[in-house]
Amino acid sequence: MNGRRILVTGAAGGIGTSLVAELLLQGASVLATDVDEAGCRRLERRFADRLEDDRLHTVPLDLTETGAPRRLVAGAVDRLGGLDGLVNNAGVEHRAALGEHTTADWRRVLEINLSAPFRLARAAAPALAGVPGAAVVNVCSIAVTGFAGQAAYDASKGGLLSLTRSLAVELGPLGVRANAVCPGFIDTPMLDESGLRGLAEKVAARLPIGRCGYPEEVAAAVVWLLGMSAGYVTGQALFVDGGMVRA
């Protein structure tokens, strides 16, 4: 990843922060964005003393704002001097029985989890086209297999996986690969925020690996898919779930 220029969304916590750390460790330059402005400042402080050069840029941004994806990509190209990869990691979860899912909930989840990645990929495609090793990685979820009580979330992640495959076919002739990473239960603050930690730990104990995953393990999978060693991999979904979908 040395010298590569990567745009990462949802960077201020959990998987996103671990991904930024791994990319910087491997020598990449990163433009990291998140709707959490305080989180962006924490990210800057975390790496301020570890970097000898200006390889991390943060942009607090709401990806649902009109024109935000286009501005973000333009800013990444300007600050990084170009673009080698896009990681659509930003996402929100909503749990409710089907009858309690409101239309507003549905629209919000799909806007952030599916529409924003579409708009970002559309905006980034011209910058990525023709760049050696250019890649898009979308962070999906084991939710693509379907679970009760999260219709909007499951639909958004299933749609994101289908979008990934469409991008692989359409952008492949331009030299751009597109893949998805589908994490299982990962030990991040989202487990607590969603109220799923108890369930996650109970399920994880029965998995072949026998535990929840770590955000660093998801980050490693994303970095591999961004790298040249995955140059013949496109249109794929890499499940980082401890064997959950096979258990």
Q: What is the pLDDT of residue 148?
A: 82
Is the Cβ–Cβ distance between 36 and 64 less than 8 Å? no
What sign results for the dihedral spanned by CA atoms 32, 39, 200, 152?
Answer: negative
Amino acid in the structure at residue 234: T
Dump pLDDT digits (tens) for 175-184: 999 999 999 9
Is the Cβ–Cβ distance between 230 and 173 less than 8 Å? no
Q: What is the pLDDT of residue 204?
A: 86
Q: What is the pLDDT of residue 190?
A: 78
Domain that holds residue 183: 5-246
Dump pLDDT digits (tens) for 233-247: 999 999 999 998 765
The two most distant CA atoms of the chain are separated, in Å, by 53
User: Which residues in the chain come in under a pLDDT of 70?
Assistant: 246-247
Q: What is the pLDDT of residue 10?
A: 96
| Strand order through the sheet with 135-139 | 56-60, 29-34, 5-9, 85-88, 135-139, 177-183, 237-240
Query: How many Cα atoms sit within 13 Å of 88 on the Cβ side?
Result: 35
User: How many structural domains compose the chain?
Assistant: 1
Q: What is the pLDDT of residue 247?
A: 52
Q: Model-level pTM?
A: 0.94
Q: What is the pLDDT of residue 246?
A: 67
Q: What is the pLDDT of residue 144?
A: 87
SS3 content of the chain, % helix, strand, coil (to 5): 50, 15, 35
Q: Is 153 a catalytic residue?
A: yes
Q: What is the pLDDT of residue 238?
A: 98
224: domain CATH number is 3.40.50.720
Q: Which residue is catalytic, options 17, 76, 116, 153?
A: 153
